[in-house]
């Protein structure tokens, strides 16, 4: 396994479903991130974890719930989503806070989410 | 408000051309800057970090003007494989936490 992996790659869900996105990094990093990429909009940072601790929640609705059990794994739990939540969800990792290299991030391939 | 502004393009250039992209950012306290590249339907990948006044890596040169809050990316001798969207990225928190703000990107198309 190399780099940052994400599963599933594609997900279609109804507004009443509960699903989870998974991210795993094999780079020995200590920081992990969730981003949302919608058409015609810039990449938006959602959550930041440093050494398993959440350090940033960028005003994300509570229907998105992150979980970081260890420095290598990150989840995004989804429930009662809206159609406007349809987007590409990208996970990234980097060296941790204080390293001076936190901006040099490695991205996974993303999960293309469609909410019906 | 934290913003990063880029010319969306597209820039259509022939192989071998030199092309430059510009980017402005809103927060004068920003400490670190990056250019990422995103191919169609792929994830962003780090192209260059800019921690001081500039950086050069082969055909790619990034320059930073803190007084004008302006970053540029110059690509010399363009290749077909350079076709992608180039994202200007700013770390507004001084670089400590990786809280990146992305521009919308500038699309480059290099033609034979």
Note the pLDDT of residue A106: 97
Note the pLDDT of residue B70: 92
What is the pLDDT averaged over residues B19-46? Answer: 92
Above 70 in pLDDT, residue B94? Answer: no
Write the CA distances from B26 to A96, B7, B21, B39, B51, integer angstroms: 25, 15, 17, 26, 17
Above 80 in pLDDT, residue B96? Answer: no
Residue by residue, pLDDT tens for chain A (116 residues) are 579 999 999 999 998 889 999 999 999 999 999 999 998 899 999 999 988 888 888 889 999 999 999 999 999 999 999 999 999 999 999 998 778 788 999 999 999 999 99
Above 60 in pLDDT, residue B19? Answer: yes
Residue with tokens 């302006």: B70
Q: Is B75 on the interface with A (CB under 8 A)?
A: no
C-alpha of B24 from chain center: 10
Note the pLDDT of residue A1: 55
B34 dihedral zone (left: phi>0; alpha: psi -120 to 50; beta): beta
Residues of B in contact with A43 (CB under 8 A): 44, 87, 102
Note the pLDDT of residue A2: 75
Q: Which of B98, B99, B102 to mutate to probe the A interface, most A CBs <10 Å? A: B98
Residues of A in contact with B4 (CB under 8 A): 42
Note the pLDDT of residue A109: 97
Percent of chain A, pLDDT > 90? 78
Note the pLDDT of residue B29: 78
Above 80 in pLDDT, residue B30? Answer: no
Above 90 in pLDDT, residue B8? Answer: no
Note the pLDDT of residue A57: 81
Note the pLDDT of residue A69: 95
Q: Is B55 on the interface with A (CB under 8 A)?
A: no
Q: Comparing C-alpha atoms, which of A8, B84, B67, B29 is closest to residue B75? A: B84
Q: Is B2 on the interface with A (CB under 8 A)?
A: no
| Consecutive H or E run containing A91 | strand A87-94
Note the pLDDT of residue A53: 86
Question: In terms of CA atoms, which chain A residue is nearest residue B41?
Answer: A109
């Amino acid at each position: 396994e190399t780099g940052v992996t994400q599963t599933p790659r594609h997900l279609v869900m109804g507004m009443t479903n509960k699903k989870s996105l998974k991210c795993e990094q094999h780079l020995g990093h200590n920081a992990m991130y969730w981003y949302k990429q919608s058409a015609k909009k810039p990449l938006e940072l959602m959550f930041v974890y440093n050494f398993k601790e959440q350090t940033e929640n960028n005003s994300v609705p509570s229907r998105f719930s992150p979980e970081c059990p260890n420095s290598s794994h990150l989840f995004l739990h989804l429930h009662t989503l809206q159609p406007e939540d349809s987007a590409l969800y990208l996970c990234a990792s980097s060296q941790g806070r204080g390293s001076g290299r936190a901006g040099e991030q490695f991205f996974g391939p993303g999960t293309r989410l469609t909410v019906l | 408000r934290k913003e990063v502004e880029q010319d969306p393009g597209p820039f259509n250039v022939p192989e071998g051309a030199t092309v430059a992209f510009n980017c402005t950012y809103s927060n004068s306290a920003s400490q670190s800057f990056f250019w990422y590249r995103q191919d169609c339907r792929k994830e962003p990948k780090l192209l260059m970090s800019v921690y001081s006044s500039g950086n050069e890596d082969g055909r790619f040169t990034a320059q930073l003007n803190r007084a004008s809050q302006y970053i540029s990316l110059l690509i010399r001798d363009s290749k077909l494989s350079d076709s992608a969207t180039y994202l200007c990225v700013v770390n507004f928190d001084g670089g400590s936490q990786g809280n990146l703000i992305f521009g919308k990107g500038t699309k480059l198309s290099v033609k034979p």
